[in-house]
Structure 1
Amino acid sequence: MIYNCPSSRDSAIAIDRHDILAHAREAFDLEGGLIYLVGHSLGPATHNALDALNQSAKYDWRRGLVRSWNSAGWFTLAKTTGARLARLVGARQQEVMIADSVSANIFKLASAALSAGLSASTTLIIEEDEFPTDQYITEALSTLQGAAFQRVEAGTGVAAMQETGGILIRSLVNYRNAERRDMAAEEKLARKAGGLIIWDLSHATGVIEVALNKAGAKLATGCTYKYLNGGPGAPSFLYVEKDLIEKLESPMPGWMGHASPFTFDPEYTPAGDITRFANGTPPILSLAALSGALEAFEALDISLVAAKARVLGDLVTSRARDIGLTVGSPLQGKDRGGHVSFSHPHAHEIVRALAARNILADFRAPDTIRFGLSPLFLRFIDVWDAMDALADILETESWDKEEYRERAAVT
């Protein structure tokens, strides 16, 4: 299906009527009348995720108790769920597993790469506009490993990697402005320079086409609670290219990563597969919810999901410019992830005013509004109406209220 950007509310309704992905919305347990534009931050619950969570808590834990490690498949759940996720990032099933957080996985992968000498130098590189936790972890690891650390200007990370042959920590989609990087082209440059890229797929997985194997990517991680709808604090995933798995050793060896965890050996022997990157006991309830959430993607063509996301983004960028907002995201859909950022001096108050109309978006200091465009549950009419509401809030200055200036702990 080819999606066309609607030019009116009626055309938005018409596109929705013939949308091949329209049925996907039924998977979600969404509040009636809510327009949810924050799927890039926390995806909403699916019915299957809630059912899986209920099954795991009320039956497997409550009744099965410790037997459920075997009878309910808890022991292998991180590996089997990772295998199901692999298709969404263009990887082989044996190359992906669920483990820990993005922060921990960046640490593990970068440390393992340094120890294995996968790059021509031990320099760790990150751009100054990367997600803060990626920067914190990279700098802390450089101190622990005695490696050189470079925090470089936005847009210069690949050039720095080419110059040093070091390791670049790189988001495929920038968290703030949704700029999308060319993975295949940058991997080619990395190979030529003797460098290495560790990809953060947090704002990419489940909304754009990701092709780790095809691009020649070696290492990656990403979160599962955004477009994958795994639930608040859902565990991360990591990817290691198959030929590297047995060449890398985790700097955080845990009993679940042991070749034979229930022999309780005092000496560590890493598993021969991707599970060597596991640490402690996995969070089963969160894993169960994630496993259920992934069912929403089972029969979907990710290229259609990505195509719809691009056009939803085109609709936002076009209308945002029409009403005088400064768009910070790429205007071309092929260069953009699944969210659109634009700025306004009173961005925080505007987001609060939208929320008062049952339209949820998010604010990023100092002046950025982000609209997340999750194709599985968002309709074109939802986005059209959200932009109408935004235009009205700006025109009437209804954002100018004292209660909208109050800031919560989470914005």
Structure 2
Amino acid sequence: MAGTAGLEARAAELEARAAELEARAAELDAADGLAKLRDRFSLPDGVVYLDGNSLGALPQGVAQRVAEVVAHEWGGELIRSWSTGTWWTAPERIGDKIAPLVGAAPGQVVVGDSTSVNLFKALVGAARLARPGRTQLLVDASTFPTDGYIAASAARMTGLTVTPVDPSQAAEAIGPDTAVVLLNHVDYRTGRLHDLPGLTAAAHAAGALIVWDLCHSGGALPVGLDAHGVDLAVGCTYKYLNGGPGSPAYLYIAERHQAAFDSPLPGWNGHADPFAMTSDYTPAQGAVRGRVGTPDILSMLALEAALDAWDGVAVEDVRAKSLALTDFFLECVAAYVPAGRVESVTPAEHERRGSQVSLRTENAREVMDELIARGVIGDFRAPDVLRFGFTPLYVGFADAERAARTLGHVFG
């Protein structure tokens, strides 16, 4: 009887706590100045979508814009859309739309190719800009695997030696032999936010250049590329920028480096006079020299339409909501999930947290599969991490509460 009474008391306590958290979520959503932005996205009913750190939701207007491009610009105007429409200037025009979201002035961001291709351009370009005689390429040891593969290839091409480093120790590791540093602004697995201003300053103090991967920070938090003197940066557009699956990535080349930036992929689109069809390559002025081949127009213009979702939105407000959402989610997890079943590997400190929460647990793949089956979509990273990405443009506090409550139910 005592055991039954204890279980009933625990159930009543959880019910009361759930009612409190649901009420708090409703109050927070009602006071949220960004809540109305959810209407700018097409989201299925009954789903909590917390995987925007892998693929952002579909913004309203994208489907119509793509249909227009296909039916009218391609179907009707045919090749004339290159010269009389918006196609040819899309890479730099869309780059200028992304620029304020990463703290860059116009003329420094060009869109096209994949993150991997842009990273290769940035690393080889940085190595060619580096001080002569330096041989070290310092690379985030916990980086997304492709960054490591690309870094190794770039090192072989430029005569550098890759040295892996924990980002928390990168400042001390940068030395007189360091030519280039490659770091992720936010760790893709843990959501840990690295010190972009401090590490950029440390690289410059040692006479090195730094390249930042912004895939998990661009569109989620202020980056400040110009303000902090970053040399080069790359990022994808299909996560927090909601550009769609496989949407083209971007390359940032600081204005002070543009005249000397020597791309290892000198394609005709980056030529000063692309239609002259000369055998000698003369790079275009500015960040346009980061272009390579013919742009992927369908994906490019879909991305341009997707960026309309940012009209009138300040990244600082997005960051404030992101921190509030992840704080509330962690509070709800603590309330709903039995003690000891999950461990947060995302830093609790705001200054060290991106816009995701990663929880370590046993049988993580099976747990995530069950969450998805119950309408809460996050993702899994081997071997034992549940990832939940919070995109403040369309995720609300009720979503965070429901996700945590569902996770608690999965654990029983």
Higher mean Cα deviation, 46-55 or 256-265?
A: 46-55
Instruction: Identify the residue that residue 365 of structure 2 maps to in structure 1.
Output: 348
Q: Secondary structure at 1:363's aligned position in 2?
A: strand
Are residue 29 (structure 1) and residue 42 (structure 2) matched? yes
Q: Secondary structure at 2:61's aligned position in 1?
A: helix
Instruction: Identify the residue that residue 375 of structure 2 maps to in structure 1.
Output: 358
1:180-199 correspondence runs (5 A): 180-199=193-212
1:118, distance to aligned residue in structure 2 (A):
4.9
Displaced runs of 4+ in structure 1, greater than 6 A?
none
Instruction: Identify the residue that residue 135 of structure 2 maps to in structure 1.
Output: 122
Instruction: Identify the residue that residue 254 of structure 1 maps to in structure 2.
Output: 267
Q: Secondary structure at 1:238's aligned position in 2?
A: strand
- Verify the 8 A CA contact 1:258 1:271 in the aligned structure 2: yes
1:123-178, Cα deviation, whole Å (9 max, x unpaired): 11112211100000001111222211212345333322235333111111110111
Partners in 1 of 2:168 and 2:133 — Cα distance? 21
Partners in 1 of 2:20 and 2:83 — Cα distance? 55
Instruction: Identify the residue that residue 327 of structure 1 maps to in structure 2.
Output: 344
1:79-90 correspondence runs (5 A): 79-90=92-103
Higher mean Cα deviation, 142-151 or 326-335?
A: 142-151
Instruction: Identify the residue that residue 88 of structure 2 maps to in structure 1.
Output: 75
1:179, distance to aligned residue in structure 2 (A):
0.8
| The one of 149, 166, 172 aligned to 2:162 | 149
1:10-409 correspondence runs (5 A): 10-118=23-131, 121-153=134-166, 155-162=168-175, 164-322=177-335, 323=337, 324=339, 325-395=342-412
Amino acid at match of 1:187: T
- Verify the 8 A CA contact 2:130 2:209 in the aligned structure 1: no
Amino acid at match of 2:348: L
| Structure 2 unaligned residues grouped into runs of 5+ | 1-18
1:286, distance to aligned residue in structure 2 (A):
0.4
> Over aligned residues, Cα RMSD in angstroms?
1.5
Instruction: State which structure, 1 or 2, has the greater radius of gyration over its C-alpha atoms.
Output: 2
Instruction: Identify the residue that residue 399 of structure 1 maps to in structure 2.
Output: none
Partners in 2 of 1:315 and 1:328 — Cα distance? 16
1:120, distance to aligned residue in structure 2 (A):
6.9
Higher mean Cα deviation, 43-52 or 250-259?
A: 43-52
Partners in 1 of 2:45 and 2:249 — Cα distance? 30
Q: Secondary structure at 1:162's aligned position in 2?
A: coil
Residues matched between the structures, number: 390
1:334-385, Cα deviation, whole Å (9 max, x unpaired): 3211111011111111111111111111000000000000000011001101
Partners in 2 of 1:250 and 1:280 — Cα distance? 13
Amino acid at match of 1:139: A
Amino acid at match of 1:140: S
Q: Sort the Cα spacing of 1:120 and 1:9 in 2 relative to 1 into closer, same or farther, 3 A.
A: farther
- Verify the 8 A CA contact 1:339 1:370 in the aligned structure 2: yes
**What is the TM-score of this pair, normalised by structure 2?**
0.92
**What is the TM-score of this pair, normalised by structure 1?**
0.92
Partners in 1 of 2:390 and 2:135 — Cα distance? 38
1:119, distance to aligned residue in structure 2 (A):
7.5
Amino acid at match of 2:35: A
Q: Secondary structure at 1:74's aligned position in 2?
A: coil
Partners in 2 of 1:329 and 1:380 — Cα distance? 19
1:112, distance to aligned residue in structure 2 (A):
1.3
1:114, distance to aligned residue in structure 2 (A):
1.3
Amino acid at match of 2:254: E
Q: Secondary structure at 2:181's aligned position in 1?
A: strand
Partners in 1 of 2:98 and 2:209 — Cα distance? 23
Partners in 1 of 2:394 and 2:144 — Cα distance? 26
Partners in 2 of 1:16 and 1:99 — Cα distance? 37
Q: Sort the Cα spacing of 1:118 and 1:231 in 2 relative to 1 into closer, same or farther, 3 A.
A: farther
Q: Sort the Cα spacing of 1:156 and 1:164 in 2 relative to 1 into closer, same or farther, 3 A.
A: farther
1:7, distance to aligned residue in structure 2 (A):
6.1
Amino acid at match of 1:391: G
Q: Secondary structure at 1:215's aligned position in 2?
A: coil
